[in-house]
A and B are shown apart, each in its own frame.
Chain A
Amino acid sequence: MTSSPATVPRWVPATLVPLANILLAFALSAVVIVLIGESPWQALKLLVLGAFGNSEAVGYTLYYATNLIFTGLAVAVAFHAGLFNIGGEGQAYIGGLGVGLVCLALDDTLPGIVLIPLCVLSGALFGAAWAIVPAYLQATRGSHIVITTIMFNFIASALMVYLLVNVLIDPGQMSPETREFRASAALPYVHELLRAAGVPLATSPLNLAFVLALLCCGGVWFVLWRTRLGYAIRTVGFNPSAAIYAGIDPARTVILAMSISGALAGLVGVNEILGVQRRLLLDFVAGYGFTGIAVSLMGRNHPLGIILAALLFGALFQGGAELSFEMPTITREMVVVIQGLTILFCGALEFMTRPYVENLYRRLAS
């Protein structure tokens, strides 16, 4: 590795190495597709067409991306504080509960313009609350946050089943769901807004939560790199003992970072519950919390990278769904395979390709 004294510019490990890792993950996914007897090239064409072929497809892609931006940002904020928040799944679930409870309680009395911000706030607060307990235990009692957040995912799942089956269920209904919210409590769809402005757009679940997700990206960037708190978070993540000498309280910083992280994950509830389902139901998180880890790793924990990675995975979700219609042997689970390979190569094996890529760069540059 160190044979050549020529230094490699910083952008090489920052862009070329992740790119090589992604390509490796996709190449292996292609091998899986060959293994089940289909053509990867054909599959890729169908996938891209299914994700971007028309305005409905694009709408779906952006709708999936919205959830992934939220959970990706959640993982990234915790990561900058040196924490691995594997609990996005549970935090998003409980965030949805927060959104739903406010809607159920107040949608008869409050107009949408007041109710919707309240719901957003409640979703963020519930998500943050679900993250604060593991954060507090990590910060003050040294409980391993990876394990506690995993446990909290399962506890959240059991809690939601209990609440929906026994407490919140709409009486006279078989499936464990609440009643539908009043129309005032709905986040407008993008196609509705654009049609009102004279732009014809196909119907899709894309709603204003997408704008909220983009705002959160800007907000996370600003907080992490332009504020005192962000500096504290990154310092604690880099070196907790140095942070103490810099006058930063690591315990407080860990708890704050995790509450931001949980709040971001909780906003998945805004997109799913307030934007699309418009009632509270089971399992609406459907793995977005875990995919957020892939998104954050691929986006190198930077909001801009996270938007790109979320778009890619959103396209994979949507394109994958379309693909499974055209090629019945390839199911939506193929996307889960790609996700796993991405986490493996961009996360666990991120250092493997680096010497090769850097050597290649040196050879090409000289």
Chain B
Amino acid sequence: MSAELYLLAILTLDSTVRLSTPLVLASLAGLFSERSGVIDIGLEGKMLAAAFAAAATAAVTGSGWLGLACGIATSVALALLHGFACITHRGSQVVSGLAINILVSGLTTTLGIAWFHQGGQTPTLPADARFRPITWPGADALSEIPVIGPLYAELLSGHNALVYAAFIAVPLAWWVLYHTRFGLRLRAVGENPAAVDTAGISVAGLRYRAMLVCGLLCGVAGAYLAIAHGAAFLRDMTAGKGYIALAAMIFGKWRPVPAMLACLLFGFLDALAARLQGVVLPAIGAVPVQLIQALPYILTVVLLAGFMGRAIAPKASGQPYVKER
């Protein structure tokens, strides 16, 4: 019994990792953008566009890597559009992000129906056009060993390359933010762009570079959904994941490692909700799955209200930078 329970726990954690991956990538993307002083509620749209571009390219060319490249390119283009609107033309960052979300939601479905004639879906990808699970050496042999075996074979081994990339991106983002010159300047431009400008560094240049990183990460997140985790693009397949990632970034107080932990928490809630659907627990009764699904949003509001420590955004985020003359 306890061995079964242990395996169940491992399997739940395993799906937690799979479900957290796009959240981790997207929340890091949002983190780079907001740390540079540009609010990005367009994570959702960039992921969706990347998912569509990746699935469409992979379906036509049969190559997962080309799909990934196209997904990233699409997402970066949208990130640059966001930059063009909010950095160059000093438009409202929230409005621009929202416009991108709505535009992409309509455009992916419209183009999907026109190009593939499957009600907005792309054709299901064959296995070799996707990112397939990587089995770690000895996983099959070790899986019979109690306790460590399932941990190694299920939880650590057997994910696709993009999952590992997402979790490697976290320490990398931490290192870039806190231990490189670019990271120092990026954090400075989000807090006090005037000071950065006085030091002779281009505010717009830095923010555009942040947009590039943001686009790249969202691109990988979107591609993961369509050609690694899934095997096709589905209409509105991001289903609010961009907003959950945004919530996780706030939950992590704009820092990479806490943001990742928040993503894992939200991913775990998602995995739990899926597992508890229709289950009647002793003493609790039927589990209100909707409550578990709404928990990330509720927790974020509670955090923002200042009941769980202060969540303080980068000081200059949301404001276009106007050079004084």
Chain A contacts to B: CB under 8 angstroms: 32, 35-37, 84, 86, 133-134, 137, 141-144, 146-148, 150-152, 154-155, 158-159, 161-162, 165-166, 290, 293-294, 297, 329-331, 333-341, 343-344, 347-352
Contact = CB atoms under 8 A, between A and B. Distances in A.
Interface stretch (B103-111, B133-141, B173-181): B103-111
Nearest to A344: B99
16 contacts: A84-B92, A143-B306, A152-B297, A161-B290, A290-B102, A294-B102, A329-B114, A331-B109, A333-B106, A333-B107, A333-B120, A336-B110, A339-B106, A343-B95, A348-B92, A351-B91
A348 B96 contact: yes
Given A162-B290, A351-B90, A352-B89, A336 B106 contact: yes
A107 B96 CA distance: 44
Contacts of B120: 331, 333
B113 interface: yes
Contacts of A152: 297, 301
Interface residues of B, number: 47
Contact of A137 (B115, B301, B313): B301
Given A143-B301, A154-B297, A347-B91, 18 more contacts: A32-B110, A137-B305, A141-B305, A142-B306, A143-B305, A146-B41, A162-B288, A162-B291, A293-B95, A329-B114, A333-B105, A333-B110, A341-B99, A341-B103, A347-B96, A348-B91, A348-B95, A348-B96
Contacts of B99: 340-341, 343-344, 347-348
A252 B308 CA distance: 25
Contacts of A348: 85-86, 89, 91-92, 95-96, 99
Contact of B304 (A37, A143, A335): A143
Contacts of A137: 301, 304-305
Nearest to A154: B297
Nearest to A133: B301
B98 A293 contact: yes
Contacts of A134: 301
A340 B102 contact: yes
B254 interface: no
A366 B306 CA distance: 58
B247 interface: yes
Nearest to A351: B89
Contacts of B313: 144
A152, A290, A349: residue with the most chain B Cβ atoms closer than 10 Å? A349
Interface in B104-147: 104-107, 109-111, 113-115, 120
B86, B101, B107, B301: residue with the most chain A Cβ atoms closer than 10 Å? B301
Contacts of A350: 91
B85, B103, B111, B298: residue with the most chain A Cβ atoms closer than 10 Å? B103
B114 A36 contact: yes
Contacts of A331: 109-110, 113, 120
Contacts of A133: 301
Contact of A151 (B85, B106, B297): B297
Contact of B85 (A329, A341, A349): A349
Contacts of B104: 340
B171 interface: no
A338 B98 CA distance: 13
Contacts of A144: 304, 313
Given A336-B106, A340-B99, A349-B85, A159 B111 contact: no
Contacts of A293: 95, 98
Contacts of B294: 154-155, 158-159
Interface string B233-259: 000000010010011001000000000
Contact of B250 (A147, A294, A341): A147
Nearest to B88: A352
Contacts of A154: 240, 243, 294, 297
A166 B288 contact: yes
B313 to A, nearest CB: 7
Contacts of B192: none
Contacts of A148: 301, 304
A32 B106 CA distance: 11
A151 B313 CA distance: 17
B160 interface: no
B15 interface: no
Given A158-B294, A339-B106, A340-B107, A349 B304 contact: no
B21 interface: no
B300 interface: yes
Nearest to B81: A344
A150 B243 contact: yes
Give me the 9 closest cross-chain CB pairs, A-B, nearest first. A340-B103, A336-B106, A348-B96, A36-B114, A158-B294, A337-B106, A347-B95, A348-B91, A340-B102
Contacts of B106: 333-340
A336 B86 contact: no
Interface string B289-325: 0110110011011001110000001000000000000
